[in-house]
Amino acid sequence: MYEFSYHKASSLEDARSTLATAEDGKLLAGGMTLLPTMKQRLAAPTVLVDLTGIDMAGIEGKGDNIVVGAMTTHAAVASSSLVQQTIPALAALAEGIGDPQVRNRGTIGGSVANADPAADYPAALVGLGATVVTSKRSLSAEEFFTGMFETALAEDEIITAVSFPVPEAAAYQKFPNPASRYAIVGVFVAKTANGIRVAVTGAGGSVFRNAEMEQALASNFSPDAVKNIAVDSSGLNEDIHASAEYRAHLVGVMASRAVAAM
């Protein structure tokens, strides 16, 4: 790992100003992606701004929403009785991230800010129509995720919470990479107050909705309604684990499994 200086932020403003004056500053949440990346020298920030000193962990119900603080770990989401009762699909998704040690340290804010194309949380955010709350504003999940490892966050903007509207029903199914547990393809299906939403992670450069499946499920909510909807493989991810065509096929399979699980 290249040399850097570590700063434990005492407040959001402290974090923001440290980041703003650093030559190449990075925010450190759980560090489950950033630290391994730095160890491999694929990232070399000059300053790490640790957010753990700022009180941003915790889960609470606010009206029809479940608000998860940015520094809440995956383990905390998975074991939260509030999440288990209101959005069990979200608790199950968190329980399936990485391994126990990753879940003990990794945070929802860190995962969302990293916007890994194969991460699980983006599917839940877009599938449930969540709102990302930052130090500057609130924006919809669809506005937030802009591309592969890219988000709408400004350089000095910090995620403080994610607010999930409680759906009527929801389920997430993923086909995990057997080594990393990242989603080769993961599909989140939700029946929400604003209709049915189908969000896909792992398949493309960034999470996306599938309108055709959403319409099919609106008229016939059954696994068969989505199983045979052809997904165009052009532009989908391709690597040693799965071809684009294989991923395209998996979208239908995971969507039908998710519907069956609801």
Partner 1 sequence: MSVSVVMTVNGEVVAKHVEDRTLLVEFLREHLRLTGTHVGCDTSQCGACVVHANGKSLKSCTALAVQMDGAEITTIEGLANGDVLHPMQEAFRQNHGLQCGFCTPGMVMSAVDLVNENPDPSETEIREWLEGNICRCTGYHNIVKSISAGAKAMREGDPT
Contacts to partner 1 by CB under 8 A:
1-6, 8, 28, 31-32, 35-36, 39-40, 48, 50, 52, 75, 98-102, 104-105, 179-181
- Comparing CB distances to partner 1, the nearer of 181 and 249 is 181
- Rounded to the nearest whole angstrom, what is the least distance from the CB of residue 84 to partner 1 in the complex? 15
Alpha-carbon distance of 128 to 65, in angstroms, equals 11
* Beta carbon of residue 239, minimum distance to partner 1 (angstroms, whole number): 17
Long-range contacts of 212-215, Cβ-Cβ distance < 8 Å, separation of 24 or more: 213/252, 213/255
Q: Which of 114, 128, 116, 113 is nearest to 159 (CA)?
A: 113
Q: For tokens 């962990």, name the residue.
A: 57
Least distance (Å) between residue 151 CB and partner 1: 23
Asked if 29 and 107 touch (Cβ cutoff 8 Å), the reply is yes
The least CB distance from residue 107 to partner 1, in Å, is 13
CB 157 within 8 A of CB 150: no
Residue 85 has φ and ψ, to the nearest 5°, of: -80, -35
Output 179 or 240, the one with its CB closest to partner 1.
179
Closer residue to partner 1 in complex, CB, 58/61: 58
Measure the CA–CA gap between 230 and 226, rounded to whole angstroms. 9
Identity of the residue, 98 or 167, whose beta carbon is nearer to partner 1 in the bound complex: 98
Min separation Cβ 42 and partner 1, Å = 11
> Considering beta carbons, is residue 31 or 167 the nearer one to partner 1?
31
Coil, strand or helix at 5: strand
